[in-house]
Amino acid sequence: MDRVSLKTVRFERRRKRIKSKIVPSDPNRKRMCISKSNKSMYVQIIDDEKKHTLIAYSSLAKDFPKMKSRVNIEAAKVLGKIVADKAKAQGITKVVFDRNGFLFHGRIKAFADSARENGLEF
């Protein structure tokens, strides 16, 4: 197996393991799912019972602050603050963090720490 397909297999295995632990954990908590690419980061807060997205925000949004790069650790911190503020405005304080198969370091960790500092509990 070549390196790229091995990386994909590991990613999918991590993703499946994470999803199996977080979805049945607490039906009252909403799920905060993060996804990233080389050009942007996306966050959704999802109500799994109703299968409805409550909040969706991206680093590509027009009202995202102008920065040198929209995909570095500083941008992830800003994204965490904005999403936490939007969630508090809708009355959401407790969420389950779905890192979607990504390792908990770098941009994902910076986002999570910023969201915790600004009032979300997970």
Q: How many domains does the chain have?
A: 1
122 found inside a domain: no
Note the maximum CA span of the chain. 48
Query: Which pTM was predicted?
Result: 0.89
40 found inside a domain: yes
32 found inside a domain: yes
b/e burial code for range 37-48 (CB count within 10 A of at least 16 → b): eeebbbbbbbee
What residues make up the domain containing 66?
Answer: 3-117
Q: Which whole number is the average pLDDT over 26-31? A: 84
Q: Which whole number is the average pLDDT over 54-63? A: 96
Q: Which residues contact 26 (CB under 8 A, 6 or more apart)?
A: 96
pLDDT > 90: percent of the chain: 84
Q: What is the CATH number of the domain that holds 23?
A: 3.30.420.100
Question: How far apart, in whole angstroms, are the C-alpha atoms of residue 2 and residue 51?
Answer: 37
Q: What is the mean pLDDT of the chain?
A: 93
Q: Which residues contact 95 (CB under 8 A, 6 or more apart)?
A: 29, 30, 31, 32, 45, 87, 120, 121, 122
79 found inside a domain: yes
31 found inside a domain: yes
Q: What is the pLDDT of residue 83?
A: 97
- In the structure encoding, which two tokens stand for residue 20, read together? 């199996």
